Amino acid sequence: MAQIVTFGEVLMRLCPPGFARFEQAKQFNVTYAGGEANVSSALAYWGHHTAHVTRFPDSPIGRAAAHYLRYHGVDISHIQYGGERIGVYYLETGAALRPSQIVYDRFHSSFAELDPKALDWHTILKDATWFHWAGITPALSQAAADACLDAIRTARELGITVSGDIFYRSNLWKYGKQPSEVLGELTAGTDLVVASPVILRDIFGVEGNSFEESCVNLKKVFPQVSRVVDTHRTSLSASHNLLRASLWNGQQVLETENLEINPIIDRVGGGDAFIAGLIHGLLRFDDEQRALEFGVAASALKHTIEGDALISTEAEVEAIRQGETSGRIKR
């Protein structure tokens, strides 16, 4: 019954409280997060029926992770259980000129070792109108890449809009495939691409002297692509950023103003909140400019919230989109 389906790994996030360094930590705050699941949870808070598809170990830890998604309102009925472990990422929160730091421990995860045949995408996507994936998934394992491709192809068959957050992490991709090849197949089935010109050039060899030119050239390679979006972050310090975004819709490039965030409470998940906001905007408003702005507002708001997930109402995001950034108390 889900309208929006997302697919991807969910990691345990272990984060020393406050600004403590790893060496100082006697406790970790624990949440469970993944880029695509973050999209689902943000959208669930705005009233969409969303489902996330992933795989967890069949253990109390795996169940805790699933229950965490359920708490955010995400449908967990398609999650699979099995395999060895949940991947972990350790996050140290920076401040001022000290950057935040992430240490991954994600290999051999239940998700990476999933069985693509166990996922019946026709059933999962039956009532969906949108499917979202990200570039991390095909980097993890052949199985994850295969399952992602199955999902995209099924979505195409069923006429479901597909969005993909395309990026490349050189320290993954250890199973022998070329990123360009694998990501190409996935992008070929995608309507809305989230990527920067640098990414498009590095992965697909798509060149361009401007964002628009890169987009036009991308569409020559992948004709299914109808929109490309990119976000721009000005990082003045670990505590102070500016955010804006661009959207190419096949005809023109739309731009937003910068939003200022100072201080940043938790920067992780900001990109996912942008995507969630953009999807929400495209589904709800007949106005791409407004949808893009909603995405940036959602992303900015995420920076003020602890954890990867954007917990917010539509009205809160819309207020920021309309320029209410003075922070006056709401009673």
Residues 187 and 220: their CA atoms lie apart, in Å, by: 12
The sign of the torsion formed by the CA atoms of 40, 42, 45, 46 equals negative
Residues 189 and 175: their CA atoms lie apart, in Å, by: 23
| CB closer to a copy of itself, 100 vs 226 | 100
**Least distance from C-beta 196 to a copy of itself, angstroms?**
15
**Least distance from C-beta 168 to a copy of itself, angstroms?**
13
**Least distance from C-beta 54 to a copy of itself, angstroms?**
17
**Least distance from C-beta 104 to a copy of itself, angstroms?**
7
Using CA atoms, how far residue 129 sits from 182, 200, 220, 266, in Å, is 24, 26, 25, 31
| CB closer to a copy of itself, 220 vs 328 | 328
The sign of the torsion formed by the CA atoms of 69, 275, 6, 201 equals negative
| CB closer to a copy of itself, 136 vs 254 | 136
- Cβ neighbours of residue 93 under 8 Å, at least 6 residues apart? 15, 16, 18, 19, 100, 266
| CB closer to a copy of itself, 60 vs 223 | 60
**Least distance from C-beta 121 to a copy of itself, angstroms?**
23
| CB closer to a copy of itself, 81 vs 250 | 81
Token pair belonging to 59: 């253990």
**Least distance from C-beta 220 to a copy of itself, angstroms?**
32
3-state secondary structure of 6: strand
Residues 91 and 101: their CA atoms lie apart, in Å, by: 6
| CB closer to a copy of itself, 84 vs 115 | 84
| CB closer to a copy of itself, 193 vs 320 | 320
Residue 237's H or E segment, with its range, is strand 227-237
Token pair belonging to 16: 């020393």
Question: Burial, 239: exposed, middle or buried (Cβ in 10 Å; 0-12, 13-18, 19+)?
Answer: middle
Helix 35-45 and helix 60-71, axial crossing angle in degrees, nearest 10: 40
